[in-house]
Chain A
Amino acid sequence: MRASAQERMGTAQGTIQAPETQAALPAGRAQAAPAMRTARRPRHGWTFAFLYALVVLLAIVYLIPVYMTVITSLKAPQDINLMTAWRPPAHPYWASYVQAFRQFAPTLRNSLILAVSATLLSAMMGSLNGYVLAKWGFRGSKWALPLILFGMFIPYQSILIPLFQFLRSVGLYGGLPGLILVHVVYGLPITTLLFHNFYVEIPDELLGSALIDGAEFFKIYRWIILPLSAPAFVVVGIWQFTQIWNEFLFAVTLTRPAFQPITVALANLAGGNAVYWNLPMAGSIIAALPTVLIYIFLGRYFIRGLLAGALKG
């Protein structure tokens, strides 16, 4: 316990390596430490009641938007008004979901194709890059990582005009392949970082023995690194899928209507001075469902990506 806490303390303060050190650790170890901690101090009745009331109150506040979204999405348009805004509908009105789903079907398909293919490609490239940077440092590779990472912090407005021109000149503007390319390229910094931090934790001795056996670069990757990479692929996959599914700026500037992802469709639906809010609310739920389900069921992998990757913003 003590060793583990202190080890992590060494890296877990302040720098990028900070919290996501956990991302890089094999699952068992990262989970073990918090679980072993005991209650911090004796509980006095009143302190406990106060803290518990506070945390419950805050939880309710955080859940209010979900409540409002769900009840509004289930109301018939004529039932939505100021006086009853907080009241659930007497009879759920499911037609908004049918309509929103029908309207969103093509954009859902676009988002799915986009997110899955860009996630797979950027994860594979990130894995190879991370392997090279973590295990095969070359001259100048110390500078490579920060230079690569800069790419995930920049406001994308600062590359948007040349990107737009470039995609138009190579005939990729407006469609999904162009958008996939864009997401793969600008996904490389974060996937490279996540895999790099994971591979750094794999002891060099493991590779050393393989080298003595005559294995080389690709064989080490294929037979030693890759089989150990499953947790990293899960973290990176979840992170990239969520980010790309939720992305808006590239989607709104680089696609034609037929290939727009769901975020653009939702913004258009809600932005058109909507009078009735049942449809945008049902649309929000449909657009949010994939990433929220991932968060609920694979939360701990999501958080590992988040701590390293929310850097991305």
Chain B
Amino acid sequence: MNSRSDRLAAILVILPSLLLLAVFVYGFIGQTLWVSLTDWGQGAGALALNPQIHWVGLENYKSLFTGFLDVRFRQDMVNMVFFTVLFVGASLLLGLLLAILIDQHLPGEGVFRTIFLYPMSLSLVVTGTIWRWMLQPQGGINALPTLFGLPASNFLWMSSRTQILQFNWQALPAYLCWAGVAVLAVAACVYLVKGRHKTAAFFAAPALLLLALVAWGPAGRAALLPYPETHGFNLALLGIVLAAVWQMSGYTMALYLAGLRTIPDELREAARVDGASPLQVYRYVELPLLAPITWSAVIILGHIALKIFDLVFAMAGPDNASTSVPAISMYLTTFRGNQFATGAAIAVVLLLMVAALIIPYLASLLRPGRAQ
């Protein structure tokens, strides 16, 4: 607005917060990055206020992804990916179903909405404790079939050692390349169909290059490890997914409801006048308008899933390797094992994955006048 002293006052008021965040967020991230490039914790005296530490470059990262000792971290990454995919997918579907049901204005709508959303007000530690009991081998969910005269289930929810969809970690570079080829190829096809040939070529060229690399070049044979190492989806994670979906699907419902309520009634009315059935109104009018909400829900739920810590800690304990995720091993290596450098490296990997989701999201806020 106007006078100089007012402008100065405004800046002085916000300055402490900006400085605090500059140090506590950006400064500390920088420091974590630096720690991850040292050997802090691999010698004695890790907890000294001025520990003896040396620069080791990317050694810690190399060891996490290819080292003999860090096999648990690699399974943690696999767990995290499976957890994220299942949790986000189930929350979206269930959340959309709940939102559509609530949106029917059934009698008692408000009560139902309250019931579906109340788990959001609980601490993940409370949720974890409750579900830990429900999913005990001798606990509630396994006993559920007995209510209907069926034999009790004996699935070991958090302690199952069964692993499905196994793959060889050695071949990971090849898998990632194939995935890259697929994504680029799809993008190229989409633009080709749209008639934007230049953009299509822009995607097709790297796709072909990558294809050549993986099919005939070094990428197809590059192995991360000198020996085969299998990883896969631990069925023990299903219990964690169940509890997480119970807690967060109500939130997804709230997001979709907020979206549904912004769709003007005139649009639905027009579709109905044109003879659309209720289902068709959803399919052709409302779902397309909800697409942007779905994208933000994917980003928000996705980054929550990548960071999941409290729930796993409370449900399965930090020492249960079958359900562990990088956020848990970071805690263990750092605060139990005093392996600060390794912990920092795990934290940086975690941060990079979250940032890959969040930074484009934040950047889209900066772009003015975006349609969505």
Contacts and interface: CB of A to CB of B under 8 A. Distances in A.
- A and B form one complex: yes
Interface of A: 1-2, 5-6, 8-9, 12-19, 22, 33-34, 37-41, 48, 51-52, 54-55, 58-59, 62-65, 68-69, 72, 81-83, 85-86, 125, 128-129, 131-133, 135-136, 138, 142-151, 153-155, 157-163, 165-166, 168-169, 185-186, 188-189, 192, 207, 211, 216-218, 242, 245-249, 252-253, 263, 266-267, 270-271, 277, 280-281, 283-284, 287-288, 291-292, 294-296, 299, 302-303, 306-307, 310-311, 313
B59 interface: no
Given A9-B264, A159-B28, 13 more contacts: A18-B296, A54-B101, A62-B115, A62-B118, A68-B130, A69-B133, A86-B143, A157-B330, A159-B29, A248-B125, A288-B122, A302-B121, A313-B304
A19 B105 contact: no
A242 B123 CA distance: 8
Interface string B237-281: 000000000100011001100110111111010001000001000
A152 to B, nearest CB: 9
Interface in B54-109: 98, 101-107
B219 interface: no
Given A55-B106, A59-B115, A136 B10 contact: yes
B190 interface: no
Interface string B302-337: 011011011001100100000000010011001100
Given A14-B295, A18-B293, A217-B6, A313 B300 contact: yes
B21 interface: yes
A62 B348 CA distance: 36
A146 B365 contact: yes
A159 to B, nearest CB: 4
Contacts of A311: 300
B17 A188 contact: yes
Given A18-B296, A246-B125, A291-B121, A51 B106 contact: yes
A270 to B, nearest CB: 4
B292 interface: yes
B133 A72 contact: yes
B125 A158 contact: no
B330 to A, nearest CB: 4
A287 B264 contact: no
Contacts of A17: 365
Contacts of A217: 5-6, 9-10, 13
Interface of B: 1-3, 5-7, 9-11, 13-14, 16-18, 20-21, 24-25, 27-29, 31-32, 35, 49, 98, 101-107, 111-112, 114-126, 128-134, 136, 138-140, 142-144, 146-147, 152, 246, 250-251, 254-255, 258-259, 261-266, 268, 272, 278, 289, 292-293, 295-296, 300, 303-304, 306-307, 309-310, 313-314, 317, 327, 330-331, 334-335, 340, 343-344, 346-348, 350-351, 354-355, 358-359, 361-366, 370, 372
Contacts, number: 342
Contact of A155 (B7, B255, B350): B350
B24 A40 contact: no
Interface centre among B125, B152, B268 (most CB of A within 10 A): B125
A19 B9 contact: no
A166 B49 CA distance: 10
A311 to B, nearest CB: 6
Contacts of A40: 103-105, 268, 278
Given A15-B365, A136-B10, A146-B362, A65 B296 contact: no
A248 B6 contact: no
Given A157-B330, A249-B309, A294-B121, A138 B10 contact: yes
B14 A132 contact: yes
From DSSP, what is the main secondary structure of chain B's interface residues?
helix
Contacts of A253: 331, 335
B134 A68 contact: yes
Contacts of A245: 123
Nearest to B335: A253
Contact of B354 (A18, A151, A155, A248): A155
Interface centre among A207, A294, A299 (most CB of B within 10 A): A299
Contacts of A242: 121
Interface centre among A52, A65, A263 (most CB of B within 10 A): A65
Contacts of B118: 62, 292, 295-296
B296 to A, nearest CB: 5
Contacts of B259: 12-13, 18-19
A248 B307 CA distance: 13
A86 B123 CA distance: 24
Given A291-B123, A311-B300, A158 B347 contact: yes
B88 to A, nearest CB: 12
Contact of B317 (A125, A146, A271): A271
B153 to A, nearest CB: 11
Given A2-B266, A8-B262, A63 B115 contact: yes
A14 B129 contact: no
Contact of A12 (B262, B314, B366): B262
A103 B141 CA distance: 29
Contacts of A142: 366
29 contacts: A12-B259, A17-B365, A18-B258, A18-B259, A22-B258, A62-B116, A64-B134, A83-B143, A86-B143, A128-B13, A129-B13, A132-B13, A136-B6, A150-B25, A154-B25, A155-B350, A163-B28, A169-B49, A216-B5, A252-B313, A252-B331, A267-B128, A270-B133, A280-B132, A281-B129, A287-B125, A299-B114, A306-B120, A306-B251
